[in-house]
Structure 1
Amino acid sequence: MDFAPSAVADDYTKRMRAFLEESILPAEAEYDAFREARRGTPAEHELPPVVETLKAEARDRGLWNLFLPSESGLTNLEYASVAEVTGWSPVIAPEAINCQAPDTGNMETLHLFGTAEQKQDWLAPLLSGEIRSAFAMTEPDVASSDATNITTEIRREGDEYVINGKKWWCSGAADSRCAIFIVMGKTDPEASKHRQQSMVLVPRDTPGVNIVRALPVFGYQDQHGHCEIEFHDVRVPVSNLLGEEGGGFAISQARLGPGRIHHCMRLIGMAERALDAMVRRANERIAFGGPLAGQGVVQQQIAESRIEIDQARLYVQKAADLIDKVGSRGAASEIAAIKVVCPRMACGVIDRAIQVHGGGGVSDDFPLASAYAWARALRLADGPDEVHLRSVARVEIKARA
């Protein structure tokens, strides 16, 4: 396996790094001030205008829709290094280049399974950055780590589907730009276990859609929101079906594969920024007659962080390379493994950085506390560690049966 960056990947990564350092990182203070002024108000989920400015600049720099090979021409392995750079500013950078979750997964789903009309209505404006979207699969009343548990009903009546159910952790739904939901529910409870579910497109303004609340993550309220949504007799035309009836579970697995890779790539960038902050703090902070960097215990924390980041990066590169060669299904075990490895690694590195920063590390004066919250949440998002460990174990057991 040769993971040396191609000339194309090297070029995009350098341009992304320049964009990050010249424009994105300097914009973080303006972004945070805008959000802080609206915290706890009805305007809490307004988009800071600086993001639209950055999006325009990204287009001018040729950094747009890089996640989708059909749009960018980049392989998953080539995109990996670019996505890692965006992890240095995980709230702003991915959206600045239109590579933010959950829209990337939704765009991939529409690209793979959407009809020509669905692509025109929803994929085109998503690719242009005009609208945002949400993915409604997880439910509060069942263990949604097993997607076959979902209870939302999608019942066909003539030329319409009628949807009833409750979802939560629908990321993006609080943003006023969110125009479309991909909703997963049961169309045939009597079918075989993995053929009961289907996915339908539900425009946000459809009667019966009620956004109940936006859920905080460890006290942090993201701009785009993670929402609880109720669907009461929501009617959409049958033409809003994605793929075929009974194909919802298969679509969900196809959707989550690349998305998990993207999360892992960004987590490596988050960990790199935390390590950078740790080293800077250790060199600047004086205690017991010298800089913290002179303390053996701090040196050990720095060394362990470097080792763990590099190990995780190699594993992600292997998974990305496999997806390019054999597809998400063939790389399923590796995707599951990195989804366990990367959040754990990032949590550990960020935690050490917090420790070196002392009291400042748990405040909002540094980006470490919010980074830790997001890294810890990613041990649950797109499936908890335990589910992915189960998948890896099954492959190992089957291989030796």
Structure 2
Amino acid sequence: MTTATDVNQPTLEHGAPAGRRLSLPVLMLIIAGGLALTSLVRIITGADGITNVSQMSTALQLAVPIGLAGLGGLWAERSGVINIGLEGMMILGTWFGAWAGFQWGPWTGIVVGIIGGALGGLVHAIVTVTFRVNHIVSGVAINILALGATRYLAPLAFEGHQGGTAKQSPPVESLGHFTVPGLSDALITLNNKGWFFVSDIAGLLGGLVTDVSWLTLIAIALIPATWWVLWRSPFGLRLRSCGENPIAAESLGVNVYKYKYIAVIISGGLAGLGGAFLSIVANPFYLEGQVSGRGFIGLAAMIFGNWMPGGLALGAGLFGYTDSLNLRGGSANVHALLLLGALLLLAGAIWLVIRKAYVKAGITLAIGGLVYAWYATTNEVPNQVVSATPYVITLVVLALSAQRLRMPRANGMAYKKGEGK
């Protein structure tokens, strides 16, 4: 018999206990170690751009829409609904946000962008929850419909306005940026010293207080807010129970349909907010194709984070950072990161030897040797490699983290009211 505690019990698909989560001190130690290794690579290669303030500031801006899309996926999948349609909901957010933004101001655009994404979420909820259509099929359909709908609407809404074309909206007024006076200048100065580790910490922190959008602050605040709502409130417990065992949740009086609908609509709204960020903050206009796969990368960040807000934020930061390499000194920085990759693979091989996984250690070491050979025999990498770096990193991270992941047990499963009776 399933009890209330079973609903929230972390188990693997076959009933084995899930792996222990990293404690906060251990996680911080790992992050510090990674930053120290990056600092060492910066000193060896002379690629100061990999941790300077402008690089980190750009990475933060690029991480925000990815993080918002991932956060939307987290809400949906914690309720048991797979949301492959995040890309389409972001596309709706970009169009609706820019359409309302250039007419009535950027904050109105933000609100309307959220509504646009939420409408996509509502459609996904109706199709998957009420009609129990396969979640993947519904999500793919939403992606296609969103792209088609915005291509149809853009000429009708934007042509004839100054700066507007069939593929681009008129410019939207800026939300504004802020820089923490004094602190930003001090961190930039310290970053420019080039000291080991200290300057890299200064670059990371400087990116958080230099030219930051007000919407970025809201997006960052949504991470702990989501954690508190889903893991510290009765509402969150009921919602997560729908994703773990909806039949048991129904037997305890939870309206499963209602919570799934709420979660998927919020999911769409968050993805729409990410889209509005792209068309109002990242670029002050809508441009066809500007989402460019960020909805899928956000989904990857959520999976990398093991369906937890904190891990999702780290994943979004990683993918945002690699994406920023396209904009600032891409070839030189990616070439320097080849050395970092080789060192990380060496560390991974040593760890596997300690765990007596000798075959895996040998394979990892061989790959690390190839990466180091690439670094040692070249002075730069092709621009095509730089452009592909975010997507390659996405695949590598998912491949390496796959064994420790545990999604909600009822994620993607069709549910019919009354099944538990």
Instruction: Please identify which structure carries the higher helix content.
Output: 2
TM-score (norm 2): 0.30
Using CA pairs under 8 Å that are at least 6 residues apart, name the structure with larger relative contact order, 1 or 2: 2
Instruction: Please identify which structure carries the higher strand content.
Output: 1
